[in-house]
Each structure stands twice: as structure tokens, then as C-alpha cells.
Amino acid sequence: MITLTKDMRVNIRSLTRGDGVVIGAAVLLFIASFLSFYSYDCAGSICPTEPNGWKAGLFPVLPSIFLAGIIAAGLIVATRFQPEGRKLVGLELGQWGTAFAVFAAWSSLWTIIGGAQGVSPGVGQILALLANAALAATALMTPRIPALKAPLVNAAGPQAPSPYGAGPNPGYGYPGPGGAQQAGPYGGAQQQPYGAQPGQPDASLGGAAAAPSPAAGQPAAPAGDFAPFWFAVPVPRPLYGEDGSPTQIAELAPGTWYLAVEQRGQALVAQTQDGRRGLLQDTTGIQRG
């Protein structure tokens, strides 16, 4: 059973652009269910009433096309508000949602093909096919296309100026024109890159394991001076619930840039590439972009 706890609260900032497409497709499906599913080519002046998806005589159109697609969208979006790895009958909610989306698109396709003489697809049937096709394609491609994995809402709000005087960072994996820099006090002056000797350039993203930790022992900047910045971790680091709960929601990996959106003492609220936010408690040795 899946139970909701306080660390699973809805956070719109965890939604991705792909989730926005999924939600839009679900809304279109709901509207289409009330429109005519079939239209009749009548030779005379009297035509049968054009049924919509809720008419009992069209069963199983409602559960296999409209409800299946709406349920698929709900499962996909609900994944953003569940801890990573949470499963239902052996599958994650996103996997269930993708399966429902593909099933709904498959049902829509075969329903619109053929038909009795004098009967044509109605507006509702055509819109349902388009919505389910978009839903299935988005569910399948979101994990593979960076543009769909980008946050739906900018977690940092209005674009913050770059700490190096340049424009805002262009995206994940692009720390900016200054290259990778070692993080000093958050929002304060920059220190030597991780693993580099004084006066020497940064050798690599990972740096030397024996390099001193520039973040350790330094006081945090006041909250009002904090500006969002990109950073990378030298070793895998766990990301815990944003509310401070001990539940691990993700793991930050070396070689990937993450966005720090808030400072809490010596910890950072970080956002992953798929839009999830959590608390990075161990900030020693991180590289600032």
C-alpha cells in the first residue's frame, strides 16, 4: 500500500515539462469524453443522437480510452511526489502510468479504424486519439529527452544574475563561462577549484581525493545574500527530503551539475535534473559552477 506522509507533500516545483504535457493531455481527454464519439452520415432529415464517451451503449470506450488515459496521467504525475523507488505490485507508479498510456493510445487507434457504414469518427473520438498519442509519446520519451526533463516551473523564480557577472546559466551541464569553481561560503567569494593547487587551473571535475574541503569550517552567508548557483559533488552524495526527513529521495552523482536553490545552515536545498528537490546535508568539497 502507498501512504502519503508529510515528506510527500505536493510541490509544483518538482514537475517537469513532460508532466505539463501529460496534464494537458488528461484535460483534453476529459473534455473529449463529453463530445460526440461517433457522427452519422444521414441521408434523411432524421439522425440518431450522436453519443459521447459516457454512453453505456459504447462500453468499453469509457474505461479503455478516456479513463485509462486520465489514470495514466495521474500515475505519472504522482511519481513526482513519491520517494524514489516506491513501488506498487513490483512496478513504480511511473511505469504503471506509461503502461496505461500506451494501452489507451492503442485502444484509441483501433477504435478509430474501420466502423460501420454511415458512421464516422466524432470530434471526441479524434481528440481522444490525439490526446492519448501525445500522452503515450511523452511518457515514453520524457526520461530520454532533456528538454522534457527540465523543470516546468523555474525553482529559482526570476532569473538570478550569475555570480561571475555573466548571464544566467543555460542549463544542466553548463556551469557558465567561468568554468567549474570551488564553492566558498554560499553566495560569497569563490575559492580554488576542488583538487587544484594554489595558482593552478582546475584539472578535472572530480579533482583529487586528498584536496582540502574549502566549505568546511567556514560560516554560512546570511540567507538574504544567497543566490542560486550550479554545483557538482566530488563523490556520490545522498539527497534527503526537503523538509529534513531522513528519507533519501535521490543520489547526486559526480560529473553532473545540480542547482542549489536555497541554503539552510551548512546544508543546501538542491534540485535534480528531473525537477526533484531535496536537502544535501554534506556539502564538503563541492564544486561551484
For residue 167, count CB atoms less than 10 angstroms from its CB and return exposed for 0-12, middle for 13-18, buried for 19 or more: exposed
- 104 with 207, same domain: the answer is no
What percentage of the chain carries pLDDT values higher than 90?
41
- 23 with 142, same domain: the answer is yes
pLDDT in tens, 56-91: 989 999 999 999 999 999 999 988 887 766 788 888
In a domain, 40, yes or no: yes
Q: Which whole-number Å values give the CA distances from 238 to 246, 249, 251, 266, 281, in the listed order? A: 10, 8, 4, 15, 8
Single pTM value for the model:
0.52
- 203 with 139, same domain: the answer is no
Predicted pLDDT at 280: 94
- 122 with 222, same domain: the answer is no
pLDDT in tens, 146-192: 899 888 876 444 444 444 434 444 444 445 444 444 444 444 444 44
- 143 with 192, same domain: the answer is no
Predicted pLDDT at 97: 94
Quote the CA–CA distance of 160 and 102 in Å, as a whole number. Answer: 40
Name the residue among 205, 215, 281 with its Cα closest to residue 249: 281
- 144 with 184, same domain: the answer is no
Name the residue among 108, 98, 81, 104 with its Cα closest to residue 7: 81
The answer to whether 231 touches 183, Cβ cutoff 8 Å, is yes
Predicted pLDDT at 55: 92
- 87 with 27, same domain: the answer is yes
Quote the CA–CA distance of 152 and 154 in Å, as a whole number. Answer: 7
Total structural domains within the chain:
2
In a domain, 158, yes or no: no
In a domain, 157, yes or no: no
Predicted pLDDT at 44: 63
- 136 with 227, same domain: the answer is no
Predicted pLDDT at 197: 41
* Cα angle: 219, vertex 200, 233; to 5 degrees: 50
Per-residue pLDDT 10s for the chain (289 aa) are: 344 444 444 457 778 899 999 999 999 999 999 999 998 877 666 777 889 999 998 999 999 999 999 999 999 998 888 776 678 888 888 999 999 999 999 999 999 887 777 788 999 999 999 999 999 999 999 989 989 988 887 644 444 444 443 444 444 444 544 444 444 444 444 444 444 444 444 444 444 333 334 344 444 444 457 889 999 999 889 999 888 888 888 889 888 889 999 999 889 999 998 888 999 999 999 998 7
In a domain, 49, yes or no: yes
In a domain, 69, yes or no: yes
- 124 with 193, same domain: the answer is no
* Cα angle: 22, vertex 157, 164; to 5 degrees: 125
In a domain, 165, yes or no: no
- The boundaries of the domain holding residue 244 are 171-289
